[in-house]
Amino acid sequence: MILFCNCSWSDVISDGVKEGVLDSLKASGANFVGVDDFCRLAADGDERIAEWVSASRLTVVACYRRTVEGLFSRAGFKLPQNARVLNMRQMTAEEIIAELGDVSGPPSADFASLNRCCAPVADVRVDRQGDWVPWFPVIDYGRCVDCKQCLNFCLFGVFTLGADGKVKVEKPANCKTNCPACARVCPEAAIIFPKYADSPINGDDVDEEALANADKSKALADLMDGDVHEIIRNRSKQKKRFAARSDGDGAGFSDKQKAAKLSELQEKLGIPQDVIDSLTADTDGGEKKCPNSAFCDNDCDEKGK
């Protein structure tokens, strides 16, 4: 079976590559499934995924293998070990077509054998479906060490703890589009954002040597004067999420220092301005409730102060 993902909500894959592969698949007369965005289907737990993983041989034309494995896991399935993943972010259309086989005319016996189980060509919908931009974190459980930093860090209730005590992505739609902050604080590079531009957050292989030399926790702690989580959670009576942290005698950072720290935090974590704006927004005339209050270390109250 061949599954083609058009990644319709992102431009990280060249239109030329996507169109070249899709046109060749259509022209071949081969049976395949084309979807607008596999991230969306994985977030929704689309029932067709169960059929796809049951195919005797599965080829996924999408992006990085680590990303595809994470998306199948998110949907509750394991990508078969013998499944092929052809990465349109790194391969040309010609290279992918060559890997698939002869798709320039009627499908060859080998090419047809890959597609015995899959849906007819008519099952191709690669235009954007729905209104939600499917941007959310995917966990690489092969790298995750259960430190729960992502759970403690996220302010939007994206993560929760499963029955097995492991962190899982519970509410992908709560994630803020284009914000990769939780991935940047993960010490093991275990969080992937499929539509992110840079490695390894995009699902590319992790450079273990570079990771070992980057002490993210210390760098961020130094940046935020010792406690990243406290600075992010802290809000003043004026409902400013990134308010100054005060010591016992009431001394705190000046407005200029706060602005500088917030600016540096945005740069280090790649937080878009609209996410910062949403953190300071009011809700029904009162302060927002911290979505992670049930999982925190009792170092803040329910309002995130």
Q: What is the per-residue pLDDT for 232?
A: 52
Whether residue 143 is found in the same domain as residue 115: no
- 285 within some domain: no
- 292 within some domain: no
Domain-terminating residue out of 79, 101, 125: 125
- 133 within some domain: no
Q: What is the per-residue pLDDT for 222?
A: 56
Whether residue 98 is found in the same domain as residue 142: no
Q: What is the per-residue pLDDT for 168?
A: 94
Q: How many domains does the chain have?
A: 2
- 265 within some domain: yes
Q: What is the per-residue pLDDT for 2?
A: 94
- 220 within some domain: yes
- 196 within some domain: yes
- Per-10-residue mean pLDDT of the chain, 305 residues long, equals 94 96 89 94 95 93 97 95 96 95 46 44 79 96 92 88 92 94 91 95 92 63 51 42 41 57 71 70 47 50 43
Whether residue 184 is found in the same domain as residue 62: no
Q: What is the per-residue pLDDT for 36?
A: 96
- 50 within some domain: yes
Which structural domain range is residue 215 located in? 138-279
Q: What is the per-residue pLDDT for 258?
A: 56
Whether residue 148 is found in the same domain as residue 176: yes
Whether residue 96 is found in the same domain as residue 158: no
Whether residue 51 is found in the same domain as residue 9: yes
- 295 within some domain: no
Q: What is the per-residue pLDDT for 234?
A: 53
Whether residue 96 is found in the same domain as residue 162: no
Whether residue 142 is found in the same domain as residue 116: no
Domain-terminating residue out of 99, 125, 151: 125
Whether residue 142 is found in the same domain as residue 77: no
Whether residue 90 is found in the same domain as residue 208: no
Q: Give the C-alpha separation, 92 to 163, whole Å.
A: 42
Whether residue 80 is found in the same domain as residue 210: no
Q: What is the per-residue pLDDT for 122?
A: 47
Whether residue 154 is found in the same domain as residue 237: yes
Domain-terminating residue out of 125, 148, 182: 125
